[in-house]
């Protein structure tokens, strides 16, 4: 599966709002399995970072410090971007899970734990969404913050 095949499948699944729920879940699970398999078979960001790091190491050993510095800067910038992405993804997903738990009436430890974990990412995200404000309000009203 390549990017365009994945994009076509995502577009198709997103347009099937009226489909039977069980069938739709099966289709999403199938796409997720295909995506996971494709990811395991392909070159990933880790491979790029490793290549850059080993290249930088070799260049540094030859005393080409300017080139090594350029490569290390690239590694650092890539890593910063990945960290920002994963903080945003983790915080948003945990916040949404907590909100869903609260909407279900789950005032148990799990909902509060999800909310606290989501809020731990808030400071790492430059443009934090209003979902964090809502989570804080939920925790305050239940005496958990």
pLDDT tens digits for 83-108? Answer: 988 988 999 899 999 999 988 986 67
Distance CA 8, CA 73 (A): 35
Q: Which two tokens stand for residue 73?
A: 């800067």
For Cα atoms 88, 90, 94, give the angle at the middle one, nearest 5 degrees.
120
Judged against a pLDDT cut of 80, whether residue 127 lies above it is answered with: no
pLDDT tens digits for 24-73? Answer: 888 889 999 998 888 788 877 888 889 889 999 999 999 999 999 999 99
Distance of CA 74 to the CA centre of its chain: 21
The pLDDT score that the predictor gives to residue 14 is: 87
The residue ranges of every structural domain in the chain are: 1-42
pLDDT tens digits for 1-32? Answer: 888 898 999 888 888 876 687 788 888 899 99
The pLDDT score that the predictor gives to residue 70 is: 94
Q: Which two tokens stand for residue 13?
A: 């699944």
Q: Phi/psi of residue 126, each to 5°?
A: -70, -40
Contact 133, 122 (CB under 8 A): no
The pLDDT score that the predictor gives to residue 128 is: 56
Q: Phi/psi of residue 141, each to 5°?
A: -65, -20
């Amino acid at each position: 599966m390549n990017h365009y095949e994945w994009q076509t499948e995502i577009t198709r699944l997103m347009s099937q709002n009226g489909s039977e729920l069980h069938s739709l879940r099966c289709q999403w699970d199938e796409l997720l399995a295909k995506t996971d398999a494709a990811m395991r078979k392909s070159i990933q960001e880790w491979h790029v970072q490793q290549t850059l790091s080993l290249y930088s190491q070799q260049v540094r050993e030859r005393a080409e410090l300017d080139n090594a510095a350029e490569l290390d800067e690239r590694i650092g910038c890539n890593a910063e971007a990945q960290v920002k992405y994963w903080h945003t993804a983790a915080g948003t997903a945990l916040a949404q899970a907590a909100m869903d738990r609260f909407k279900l009436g789950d005032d148990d430890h799990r909902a509060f734990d999800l909310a606290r974990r989501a809020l731990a990412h808030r400071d790492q995200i430059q443009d934090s969404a209003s979902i964090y404000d809502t989570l804080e309000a939920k925790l305050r009203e239940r005496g958990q913050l």
